[in-house]
Amino acid sequence: MRSGADGALLAASLAFAGAAGLGSAVAVRDQLPGQPFGISVPVSVPAGLLAGWGAGVAAPWPMPAAAVIVAARARRTAPSALAGAICTGIGAGCIVGTAIEPVSWQPRSWTPWTRLAIVCNVAASAALAVAGWRRVTAARAS
């Protein structure tokens, strides 16, 4: 279990962090503020990103940071389902977060970079959720 599920979890968390970085750059470039369910905060896109609010196409920075830290620690600790459960929750949460952003439902307004950021975000989030779930099931089996 240690090499397969742990390595996949770390790889998925790093891909998720990369997608969040790409999304942050695109959000600043295209001025896409975070507006989950249409709720906005009166700050600029860069300030919202720094504050951990996220953006229209970027996860809030605490999510990828937590995923990478949890996945890296999972490689050094005894097998446990907790790391997998956390990463599954973060991945699923980011998919839901993408779905509740208004920009996700306005494809005609997307630039090629916005499209790329959304696709990478959803793909990396799904990979994180799947790798997390694999870790959970592997930990339960051992």
pTM of this structure: 0.92
Task: Please give the tally of structural domains in the chain.
Answer: 1
| Residue 1, pLDDT above cutoff 50 | no
Two structure tokens written together for 139: 């930990």
Q: What are the pLDDT digits (tens) for 89-118?
A: 999 999 999 999 999 999 999 999 999 999
Q: CB–CB of 68/75 below 8 Å?
A: no
Pairwise pLDDT comparison (116 vs 139), residue with the higher score: 116
On whether the CB atoms of residues 63 and 70 are closer than 8 A, the answer is no
- What is the tens place of the pLDDT at every residue in 28-41? 999 999 999 988 88
- By residue range, what is the domain housing residue 14? 2-141
Considering only CA atoms, which of 5, 4, 1 is closest in space to residue 133? 5
Mean pLDDT across 11-15: 98
